[in-house]
Amino acid sequence: MITIALSAAYFAWANMFAGGRAGWKQVGKQHGGPLPGRGIYYSGAIAMILGAWFFGGAGALAGFSFLVWRLPGWYHAIDAGMDADTRLRDFLVMTARGLVCFPFFAWEAYAHHTSKPLIVLALTSVLIAAAYDIAHHQFDRRNWLAEMWTGILWGEAFAQLLEWNP
C-alpha cells in the first residue's frame, strides 16, 4: 500500500513537472528555464532510476514506459474537444495515446503469462482520457488537475503490477 501511494505521488509530480507545473515551470528550457530539453526527460530518467533501484528491470521499464507515453504529441486532443475537433474524437485520441505506454504492461503480461496487465493498461488509458475530459469540462480547463490525476493513475497502475505476485 505504501508503494502504491509513493508511486502515485511520484508520478503525479513527474507528470506535472513534465507539463511545466508543480512549481518547476522555469526549470526546463521548454518553459523558459536553464535546463536543456523537456521536463519529461528529467522526470522519466528519475522514474527509471527509482524503478530500477526498488524493482529491478521491471521498475526501470515502468519508468521508460512513462517516458515513452509522454513523448508523442497530443494531436490537438489535450483540450478535450473544447477548441477544435470533437469531445469524442479527443477522448479516443487520448485513450489511444495511453496505449503507447505498453512496453511495461506487455512485459508484465509476458512474464506472468496473463492478460491482466494489458487489461490494466486499457482501463488506465480510458481513465486518463476521462481525467483530461473532466478537468477541462467540469473544472474550467484545469490542465494541471488532468496532469496530476494522470500521474496518479500511472503510478497506481505501475505499482500494482510491480507488487503483484500471481
Q: What does the pLDDT look like over 140-151, one tens digit per residue?
A: 888 889 999 999
**pLDDT at position 80, please?**
79
The answer to whether the CB of 12 falls within 8 A of the CB of 152 is yes
The whole-angstrom separation of Cα 46 and Cα 68 is: 14
Domain that holds residue 143: 2-163
DSSP code for 35 = B
- Count the domains in the chain: 1
Place of cell 470533437: 86
Beta-bridged to residue 99, according to DSSP, are: none
126: three-class secondary structure by DSSP:
helix
| Residue 80 φ/ψ region, left for φ over 0, alpha for ψ in the -120 to 50 degree band, beta for the rest | left
Predicted TM-score of the model (pTM): 0.91
**pLDDT at position 48, please?**
97
| Residue 105 φ/ψ region, left for φ over 0, alpha for ψ in the -120 to 50 degree band, beta for the rest | alpha
DSSP code for 36 = -
Average pLDDT along the chain: 90
